[in-house]
């Protein structure tokens, strides 16, 4: 029972991180019909920069803010340089370009920092807590993970539901041509969307890196879990990203806990297959009619 409880708590923490990755994917997919396979690698680069800032002698929080800011900038730059020229072309081109960018970044990171693993500190203790007489595997850092992702979600919610800017971004995602006719400047808003998405990815990377370790490909597996969560929740639903993230995190935790950790990536694939078989549009996606 205690084992089950600990696995569940671990699954919730992982699920929140996965949800942040999924949110990043969803933000871009809603607006441009592109899945950004480079998102994990972009976050990895930014995390190396945070690592460098940290080893300049700055504190954890300065590095944290620097990483998020670099992430925003990096996302915007990527959209302007790589993605904008692809507008109006086949989605296949975008997939190949983002995937190529993933490889390129991992190669560059390997060339600069090498492939050895580095440890990245956590801001709070990672040790489990004692409640009464039972030891539970939920550390103060896990609490921070859950709160940080919840804060991200609430910020996004406020931005998209409560502000004028968010309304315009939703309009651009929903019907870019109509939005343009109504006087919305589409291109800068798409760039902003990429910036926000990259920042969500960076947050996920910063939350996962203390428990894994910093290598050029440490985000690969997290990215495919995020993809799983996004597919389960529906690729264009932010709420779906949260629910899908938790569902994915919990399922993987049970598979890892009871069957073996090496099975987790394949379990994620099985989850995608099953969810596409049962509910192809995802749990929360709006049905997309195809127009001729």
Partner 1 sequence: MGELQKRAQGLAAKPWFRMPRQPMLRHLTYAAVAVVFLYFLTQKLSAFNDYEVGQIAFYAVALAGLTLLTGINGQISLGHGGFMAVGGFTLALLVEHTTWNVVPELAIAIATSALVGAVIGIPATRLRGPYLAGMTLMVALGLPYLTNQYNSFFGGDQGLTTPQPTGPASINPEQWLAWIQLACALIVLILLGNLLRSRFGRSFRAVRDDEIAASLAGIHVARTKVIAFMVSAGCAGLAGALLALSAGGVNSAEFPLSISIYLLAGMVIGGTGSLMGVWWGAILIVYLPTSWAPALASHFHVNSQVSANLAVIIFGLVLVVGMLVAPGGIQGALRWVAARVGAYFSPDGVPNMKLSLQEAPTDRAVHDGESVTQVGEPGVQVHPTND
Binding site for partner 1 (CB under 8 A): 29, 33-35, 37, 82, 85-86, 88-93, 95-97, 99-108, 110-112, 114-115, 174-178, 181-182, 217, 220-221, 224, 227-228, 231, 235, 260, 262-266, 268-269, 272-273, 276-277, 280-281, 288, 290-292
C-alpha span between 257 and 45 (Å, rounded): 31
65/276 with CB nearer partner 1: 276
Question: Least distance (Å) from partner 1 to the CB of residue 215?
Answer: 13
User: What is the Cα 77 distance to its own chain's centre?
Assistant: 18
10/176 with CB nearer partner 1: 176
Question: Least distance (Å) from partner 1 to the CB of residue 52?
Answer: 16
89/185 with CB nearer partner 1: 89
- Token pair of 125 as six digits: 């203790």
DSSP secondary structure string for all residues of 218-241: TTHHHHHHHHHHHHHH-TT-HHHH
Contact status, residue 176 vs residue 10, Cβ threshold 8 Å: no
Residues ≥6 apart with Cβ < 8 Å to 197: 23, 24, 25, 27, 28, 36, 39, 75
102/202 with CB nearer partner 1: 102
The candidate with the shortest Cα–Cα distance to 207, out of 148, 251, 259, is 148
Question: Least distance (Å) from partner 1 to the CB of residue 7?
Answer: 18
Question: Least distance (Å) from partner 1 to the CB of residue 207?
Answer: 21
9/272 with CB nearer partner 1: 272
The candidate with the shortest Cα–Cα distance to 35, out of 112, 96, 121, 126, is 96
The candidate with the shortest Cα–Cα distance to 190, out of 79, 70, 42, 71, is 79
Strands in the chain per DSSP E: 129-131, 134-136
C-alpha span between 177 and 199 (Å, rounded): 27
Question: Least distance (Å) from partner 1 to the CB of residue 206?
Answer: 22
69/80 with CB nearer partner 1: 80
Question: Least distance (Å) from partner 1 to the CB of residue 179?
Answer: 9
33/119 with CB nearer partner 1: 33
Question: Least distance (Å) from partner 1 to the CB of residue 159?
Answer: 22
């Amino acid at each position: 029972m205690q084992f089950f409880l600990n696995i569940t708590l671990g699954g919730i923490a992982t699920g929140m991180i996965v949800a942040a990755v999924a949110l990043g994917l969803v933000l871009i997919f809603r607006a441009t019909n592109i899945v950004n396979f480079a998102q994990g690698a972009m976050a990895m680069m930014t995390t190396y920069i945070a690592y460098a800032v940290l080893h300049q002698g700055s504190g954890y929080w300065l590095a944290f803010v620097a990483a998020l800011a670099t992430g925003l900038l990096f996302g915007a730059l990527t959209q302007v340089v790589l993605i904008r020229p692809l507008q109006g072309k086949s989605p296949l081109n975008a997939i190949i370009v983002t995937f190529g960018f993933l490889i390129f970044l991992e190669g560059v990171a390997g060339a600069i920092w090498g492939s050895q693993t580095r440890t990245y500190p956590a801001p709070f203790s990672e040790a489990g807590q004692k409640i009464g007489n039972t030891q539970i595997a939920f550390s103060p850092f896990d609490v921070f993970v859950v709160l940080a992702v919840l804060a991200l979600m609430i910020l996004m919610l406020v931005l998209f539901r409560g502000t004028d800017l968010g309304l315009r971004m939703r309009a651009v995602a929903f019907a870019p041509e109509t939005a343009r006719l109504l006087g919305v400047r589409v291109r800068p808003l798409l760039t902003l969307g990429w910036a926000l998405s990259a920042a969500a990815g960076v947050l996920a990377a910063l939350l996962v890196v203390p428990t894994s370790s910093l290598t050029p490909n440490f985000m690969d597996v997290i990215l495919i879990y995020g993809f799983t969560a996004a597919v389960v929740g529906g690729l264009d639903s932010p709420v779906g990203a949260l629910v899908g993230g938790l569902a994915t995190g919990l399922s993987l935790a049970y598979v890892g806990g009871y069957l073996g950790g090496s099975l987790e990536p394949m379990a994620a694939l099985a989850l995608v297959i099953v969810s596409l078989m049962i509910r192809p549009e995802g749990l929360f996606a709006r049905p997309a009619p195809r127009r001729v």
